[in-house]
Amino acid sequence: MTKATALRVEKPPLSSPSVEPRELAALRQLERKVMWLAAWTIHHANHVRPARDEVKVGGHQASCASSATLLSALYFHALRPQDRVAVKPHASPVFHAIQYLLGNQTRDKLAAFRAFGGAQSYPSRTKDTDDVDISTGSVGLGGAMTLFASLVQDYVRLHDLAPAERPDGRMIALFGDAELDEGNVFEALLEGWKHDVRNAWWIIDYNRQSLDSIVTDRLFARLDGVFTSMNWDVRTLKYGKLLRAAQDGPGGEALLNWIDTCPNQLYSAITFKGGNAWRQRLTRDLGDSAGIRELLDSHGDAALHALMTNLAGHDMETVLEAYDAAAESDRPTCFIAYTIKGFGLPLAGHKDNHSGLMTPDQMATFKAANGIADGDEWEPFAGLDMDADELRDFLGAVPFNQPATRCFETPKIPVPASLAVKTGAKAATQEAFGRILNELARGDSELAARIVTASPDVTVSTNLGPWVNRRRIFDRRERPDTFRAEDVASTQKWVMSPAGQHIELGIAENNLFLLLAALGLSGPLFGARLLPIGTLYDPFIARGLDALNYACYQDARFMLIGTPSGVTLAPEGGAHQSVTTPLIGMGQPGLTYFEPAYVDELAAIMRWGFNHMQADDGGSVYLRLSTRPIEQTGREMTAELADQVIAGAYWQIPPGPGADLALVYCGVVAPEVLAAFEALREDAPDAGLLAVPSADRLHADWLDAKRRRQAGEGDATSHAERLLAPLAPDAGLVTVLDGHPAALSWLAAVRGHRVAPLGVEAFGQSGDVADLYRHHRLDTDAILDAAAQVCVARATGR
């Protein structure tokens, strides 16, 4: 078999029974308009709208041109209101242009593309106003999320959480081909396969260009195999109708063979050069082949260029046929659609065109070619060859645009008045988390019915086992627990069932966060509110950090349990010890970080968390927990104390008036801090002991009070300011946590106190807790040294 025939795509029929000629004509007109509007939106932002600084505005005219047909065919023909789409980030102007033509986007927003409050550079669920389903921007994540959205849709249906008559939607991604370099895409593919995800379409805009360059030749022969082995239906759309018709004419076979074997770089370069360059090259390479002269002689330069660039991804009819043919498939489908980056523009095929912009002169030529008069640039139907009323009627009948709820409001799920659990005199927060979920699993609260847990292969080791034993593992089919059936003793019952409420993932933290994003948007996307809880080892938050950021960016709501954390999981050693996660928790928008020391704090925080996940102005919650059992307080968790825990801090032992020392701590180091406090008491009887279950809440509130004062609310104060008010103005603080010291050292700035910050700044070691606390200077002696240091500094005025 020659290379050419190996690559040849099966020839599909030329007829298009599913699309009426008038519909096809209208779609071609609209595709042209979308192409124009996208290019104009970017041009306007860069060259027409006045600039106030030297920073480039940017936009991606070539990426847009590449995908205009694929997206027009999708939105104006194949899509239904219940479908959900992730559009490759750089096609944002195409998406907005389509929504504009459908009446869902305003001209003002388009004119303000990439300006404050305007249409966003990359489609955004939270900031765009034209119904973005799935945000994109960080390549690879949006597409992968469609698989998890599909899984969540299955979950909602199999749990009867949405009205049975509501039709299932298809989860669709338009991918740039270079997005498939991102490893998270393959992690998601594997997980999707394991979970038998079916209802998904991935449309790959195969322009063989990325940002820097042309992608490796024949990459897609490999990728085709990857999708096939995951049981996807792969549909390669290579030639448009012109090329397919030419195949049967003189020189046709030779011509298509030439294209099949042409290196991507060469094809792109000649595409950029245009008509005569094709003629020269084909004469040189194929001059002796039968029929080629006839073929070349019967095509002028423009016609030859049109023929040679007639790839299927720019051929409306071919794309429509492909979408229609795939509509009934019950397998996930991948369309590999050959395209040209910058198709139809003077940027076409140039390897540097990713951020390329047409010059004003080029734009003027493009505008004339589109028949658009000055002042008509934003007119929806200007310059088209079809009556505006007919196009309006067509748009009015587009299936996607029929009245339907696309963003669901869902009622809030009540949260029980208390989630408190009993533990022994000593307990660890991780163990208590497991108990709280176990208690919920035993009951029949609505909250428990809406909780979905997920973990990347650390279900048992993060104490989700008891919950899973009761609520079982989700699977589309009933699957017995073989070990149980074989009478092999185990505390874990791993029965799988469509009614299960735990989603077991392979070890891929990216997938955990993408699943949490999809579960956490189940309310607005699928009309069924879910309360997802994801558990993972705290250090591995960093592995999926971009996906976590992405989930928060979309305002998905979930509870994240990072456990075990810090150096406190001592013997496990440095590879599993998290240092910076408190700073991630504080810095990440949309995520509120807590690190409780005691079980009663944890129960109050989880209760608050379930409400916060449902509040209109709420967000997600991150709990950094530990496996180290510590002595509990035996106190009563009053409503007032719970409020302070949620506000971020409380005086575990209040300071005397004008006290000159306070020990401040977060989390599992409580015993060392308490011991140091007891030792200090004699010398510093007025000292206070401040517990900080949420440095994040405390810090955010402090900044908020400053803003409110600036805005004229003169008596606004923050919790931190009120808490620290009783201390002497020159008092010293010793702050302690099992994490980076910067998470607490800022407290010294609240009232200008001195601080000695203790925490972890280096990679960990193996050892027991005593060894490691001594090594990292978190032990009682280190705390006493630090207290002495701030006291000396105070006495000497330094």
Ligand X SMILES: Cc1ncc(C[n+]2csc(CCOP(=O)(O)OP(=O)(O)O)c2C)c(N)n1
Find the shortest distance in angstroms from Cβ 341 to Mg ion.
6
Q: Containing H/E element for 335? A: strand 333-338
Part in contact with ligand X (CB under 6 A); list of ranges 202-210, 317-325, 363-371, 681-689: 202-210
Strand partners, 623: 561, 594
- Among 12-20, 177-185, 223-231, 428-436, the segment contacting ligand X (CB under 6 A): 177-185
Q: Report if residue 139 touches ligand X, rule: CB under 6 A.
A: yes
355 contributes a contact to ligand X by CB under 6 A? no
CB nearer ligand X, residue 428 or residue 547: 547
Q: Please pick, from the candidates 66, 271, 459, 581, the single residue that binds ligand X as defined by CB under 6 A.
A: 66
What's the min distance (Å) between Cβ of 207 and Mg ion?
Answer: 4
φ, ψ of residue 390 in degrees (nearest 5): -65, -40
Amino acid letter, 577 = Q
Distance CA 231, CA 237 (A): 19
Q: For residues 67 and 310, which CB has a smaller minimum distance to Mg ion in the complex?
A: 67
Binding partner of residue 139 among ligand X, Mg ion, none, CB under 5 to 8 Å per kind? ligand X
Contact status: 178 vs ligand X (CB under 6 A) = yes
90 binds ligand X (CB under 6 A): yes
115 binds, among ligand X, Mg ion, none (CB under 5 to 8 A by kind): none
Tell me the sheet residues that pair with 753.
none
Q: Which of 723, 727, 719 is nearest to 703 (CA)?
A: 719
Q: Does residue 138 belong to the site contacting ligand X (CB under 6 A)?
A: yes
In the window 236-295, what residues touch ligand X (CB under 6 A)?
none
Measured N-to-C along each axis, helices 360-369 and 21-43 cross at an angle, to the nearest 10 degrees, of: 160
The answer to whether 661 and 792 are in contact (CB under 8 A) is: no
Hey, how many other C-beta atoms are within 10 angstroms of the C-beta on 640?
9
Furthest-apart CA atoms within the chain: distance in Å: 104
Residue with tokens 């049967």: 248
Kindly list the distances between the CA atom of residue 73 and the CA atoms of 150, 216, 287, in Å, as whole numbers in the listed order. 22, 28, 38
Strand order in the sheet with 84-87: 84-87, 171-176, 200-206, 333-338, 233-237
Residue from 16, 29, 46, 63 touching ligand X (CB under 6 A): that is 63
Residue entry with tokens 């292969």: 457
Q: Which stretch binds ligand X (CB under 6 A): 73-81, 86-94, 163-171, 501-509?
A: 86-94
* Closest CB to ligand X among residues 550, 598: 550
Count of residues touching ligand X (by CB under 6 A): 19
Q: Which does 733 bind (CB under 5 to 8 A by kind): Mg ion, ligand X, none?
A: none
Q: How far is CA 222 from CA 181, 217, 235, 332, in A?
A: 12, 10, 14, 18
Q: Which is nearer to Mg ion, 88 or 281 (CB)?
A: 88
205 binds ligand X (CB under 6 A): yes
Tell whether residue 341 is a contact of ligand X (CB under 6 A): yes
Strand partners, 534: 454, 560
What is residue 691's DSSP assignment?
E
Give the contact letters, 211-240, x = binds to ligand X (CB under 6 A), - = no: x-----------------------------
123 or 176: CB nearest Mg ion: 176
Q: Which of 18, 106, 210, 362 binds ligand X (CB under 6 A)?
A: 210
Location of structure tokens 């992690």 = 187
Neighbouring residues of 771: CB distance < 8 A, sequence distance ≥ 6: 570, 765
By CB under 6 A, name the one of 46, 120, 153, 209 that touches ligand X.
Answer: 209
Phi, then psi, of 630 in degrees rounded to 5: -130, 155
**In angstroms, what is the minimal distance from the CB of 701 to ligand X?**
33
Structure tokens at 1: 């078999």
CB of 62 to ligand X, least distance (A): 7
Nearer to ligand X by Cβ, of 552 and 606: the residue is: 552
From the CB of 219, what's the least distance to Mg ion, in Å? 11
Q: Which is nearer to Mg ion, 264 or 626 (CB)?
A: 264
3-class SS at 328? Answer: coil
Q: Closest CB to Mg ion among 268 and 462?
A: 268
State the Cα–Cα distance between residues 179 and 87, nearest whole angstrom.
12
> Given candidates 128, 130, 179, 439, which one binds ligand X under the rule CB under 6 A?
179
Q: How far is the CB of 148 from ligand X (least distance, A)?
A: 18
| Partner that binds at residue 265, options ligand X, Mg ion, none, CB closer than 5 to 8 Å by kind | none
Which one among 177, 321, 475, 601 touches ligand X, defined by CB under 6 A? 177
Cα–Cα distance for residue pair 135/117, rounded to 1 Å: 16
Ramachandran category for residue 702: left, alpha or beta (phi over 0 → left; psi -120 to 50 → alpha): alpha
Return the number of the residue (89 or 93) whose C-beta is nearest ligand X. Answer: 89
Give the Å distances, CA to CA, from 752 to 354, 704, 747, 768. 50, 18, 9, 37
Q: By CB under 6 A, which span of 58-66, 300-308, 417-425, 764-772 interacts with ligand X?
A: 58-66
The least distance separating ligand X from the CB of residue 178, rounded to whole angstroms, comes to 3
Is the CB of residue 248 less than 8 Å from the CB of residue 392?
no
Phi first, then psi: give them for residue 182, nearest 5 degrees.
Answer: -80, 125
- Residue owning tokens 């996208």: 38
Phi–psi pair at 496, nearest 5 degrees: -110, 140
**Of 204 and 733, which has the nearer Cβ to Mg ion?**
204
Which DSSP category does 51 fall into?
Answer: P
**Among 29, 207, 429, 578, which residue interacts with ligand X (rule: CB under 6 A)?**
207
Measured from the CB of residue 164, what is the shortest distance to ligand X in angstroms? 39
- CB 588, min distance to ligand X, A: 17
Residues that bind Mg ion (CB under 5 A): 176-178, 207, 209
Question: Could you list the residues that contact ligand X (CB under 6 A)?
Answer: 60, 63, 66, 88-90, 138-139, 176-179, 205, 207, 209-211, 341, 354
